[in-house]
Chains A and B, each alone.
Chain A
Amino acid sequence: MRVSKAGLLVVAAIVIPIVVEFRTALSWFGIELSVLEGVALAVTIVLAIVVWAVWPSDGNGNAETEPTDPE
């Protein structure tokens, strides 16, 4: 994995305020997302991040080991 599982969880959590605020911000430009569309956007972003996180970074299909905390 490119990031630790805990790091991935944190990123997924941070996506939520970004999407919630992004939806509000978009409305100022006349683009109104329904709740369902907002949820779909959040799920898509989180899935994309998960795919990126688990995708092997060397391009040869050799997954890196999960970063670990040195403590």
Chain B
Amino acid sequence: MAMRNAYVDQFPAEAKVIKAAFWSSFLALAIGGLLGLVQALHRTDVVRFIDSADYYTVLTAHGVLLAITFTIFFLVGIFTWAVTTSLERGVVDTRFTWSWYAMMVVGTVLVGVTIFAGFLEDAPEILGAPLNADVLFTFYAPLQAHPFFYVGLVLFVVGSWLAGVDWFRTWWAWRGENPDERIPLPTFMVLTTTLFWYICTFGVALSILVFLLPWSLGIVDSVNPLLTRTLFWYFGHAVVYFWLMPAYMMWYIMLPKLSGGKLFSDPLARVVFVLFLLLSTPLGIHHQYLDPGIAEGYKFIAMTNTMFLLLPSLLTAFTVVASMEHGARQRGGEGYLGWLRALPWRDPVFTGMALAGLMFAAAGFSGMINAGMNINYLVHNTWWVVGHFHLTVGTAVALTFMAAAYWFIPQVTGKALWNRSVALGQVLLWFIGMTFMSNAMHRSGLFGMPRRTAEPQYSGFEFEPAAGTVGEINAQVALGAVILTVSLALFLLNMVLTSFNGSSDAIPDNTYAGTLSGPEDAPEILDNLKLWTAIAIVLVIFAYTLPVASIVENGGLFGPGIEGQQLTLVPDTATVLETVREVMP
């Protein structure tokens, strides 16, 4: 019998932590995904079984559980795999690894309990404040959450910082043993991503620890909402790339291998990750184009930085497609496009990742609309934006992670995947469901349908779609959400039943793609992490010093007496109608 060489055989202790991180991620995905269906059916008025006031509790839980918990738990699992596999050594101390994982779990539980307490009729008072956090994913002041929400976020983020320390320690230990070696590509990707995570989370840490948490505890009376909002977006766009980098890593080091070939260019991949380290953070103000109090010039700089960031994504598209073509030709594919037929479409890992990449291309186009200062005004705060990020984090990231799980769960458990055909159907259903949902969301944004609204149906006012009808668009969203939920259920079923499988000897070896052009072709300066980090910090200083100084000068460090507010809905139809008539006679 051939000797099995799966990840669990090479690194059994690390495999346990990774498995725990993956299951934490899947649990968040299950709850958050189900809440997504509730929202889609409620907003479109297909089925309403929650109060509209509770919609915002659901929305907060959906956003936090999926955009933060699901993505980052999966990320820490995949990055731990990448570092240990590519350095061919375990982490320095597994107890440290378990400790950061535990810290992230405690943070998640605190945040989760605080959010879900919002469903209670009478939320318990703890520390002198009602336990709830209906503040949505962005927790903009003056909306105020219970202190536990902010403490939970801090614990989660500090846990992820310690995970970064773990990866760096492992790399330093390896470097001591291999002083003349280039950083292996997967570890290089992990380290550069971790560095910009440290840079960008500094903003949100400052916002929470200096302003929002003391404010929620009553230590300070007021905050400056524009300042905390700007600090949020200092982090808020870079976090998008934090989710995305593990997906990029999978596309670079797994897709070529699954295609049957090698990565086209290791140096180009390093350039891409260096560009993300440099440019991920100094552009968050592009989320604030409509915020008064930030001069247009600063917004223009943020737009320019954002457009520069298209370059690494285009380089990635080129490199990954070239690698897939190389793989397909190794498998006998021929012709200008005929090679596509030689790709392993039966493999759900490959197909899921390839379709996720395809959807990401569409997301890039709608992202350019968001990033353009003038055209952003058309879609700002509309459902278009929701359609956009369901293509990015909801497909490019989530679908890649689910597809990757079909490879990783057997690797970390030693158990064969329960059903490959169901897995293939699952990734195709996700692609189809997201097509319906995100297309309708984008279209409705074009005629101004707002996001973050429980009931976007207004008396005496009709939206005017450029194509189709509002009813048809709502039906498309509801249909898409149902298909996505079925897809999610199939994914979870496959994961659960795989974990009940017995140990298998048929698990593929734990390897990743080789390269056609390897690290020896990459200039050594690319591995100079100190240099790139220093430049990244300088760029952040250039982009943010003057806008932040201006915000503080105009509004004060702690704002002009802004008191916290809990999100409430008063079911007074007459008042609502009167307000609507005032703005839309």
Contact = CB atoms under 8 A, between A and B. Distances in A.
Interface of A: 2-7, 9-10, 13-14, 16-17, 20-21, 23-24, 27-28, 32, 35, 67, 69-71
B341 A3 contact: yes
Nearest to A21: B439
Interface in B460-518: 466-468, 472
Nearest to A20: B439
Q: What interface size band does chain B fall in? A: 20 to 34
B431 A70 contact: no
A61 B204 CA distance: 66
B344 A24 contact: no
Given A9-B428, A35-B472, A16 B435 contact: yes
B interface: dominant SS: helix
Contacts of B472: 35
Interface string B340-382: 0111111100010001001000100000000000000000000
B341 A6 contact: no
B467 A10 contact: no
B345 A7 contact: yes
B508 to A, nearest CB: 9
B260 interface: yes
Contacts of B351: 6, 10
Contacts, number: 64
B234 interface: no
A11 to B, nearest CB: 9
B4 interface: no
B468 A69 contact: no
B435 A69 contact: no
Interface string B433-452: 00110010001000000000
18 contacts: A4-B341, A4-B346, A6-B351, A6-B424, A7-B341, A13-B355, A13-B428, A13-B432, A23-B468, A24-B468, A27-B466, A28-B467, A32-B468, A69-B344, A69-B347, A70-B332, A71-B344, A71-B347
Nearest to B434: A17
B349 to A, nearest CB: 11
Nearest to A19: B435
Quick one: which of A4, A6, A9, A67 has the most chain B CB within 10 A? A6
A71 B436 CA distance: 33
B439 A24 contact: yes
B16 interface: no
Nearest to B258: A71
B275 to A, nearest CB: 29
Given A69-B346, A70-B331, A24 B467 contact: yes
A7 B428 CA distance: 11
B467 A27 contact: yes
Contacts of B341: 2-4, 7, 67
B29 to A, nearest CB: 21
A4 B358 CA distance: 20
A1 to B, nearest CB: 11
Given A13-B432, A16-B435, A67-B341, A6 B346 contact: yes
B390 to A, nearest CB: 13
B428 A10 contact: yes
A69 to B, nearest CB: 5
A57 to B, nearest CB: 12
Contacts of A13: 355, 428, 431-432
B346 A27 contact: no
Nearest to A68: B346
A51 to B, nearest CB: 17
A18 B104 CA distance: 41
Interface in B408-458: 424, 428, 431-432, 435-436, 439, 443
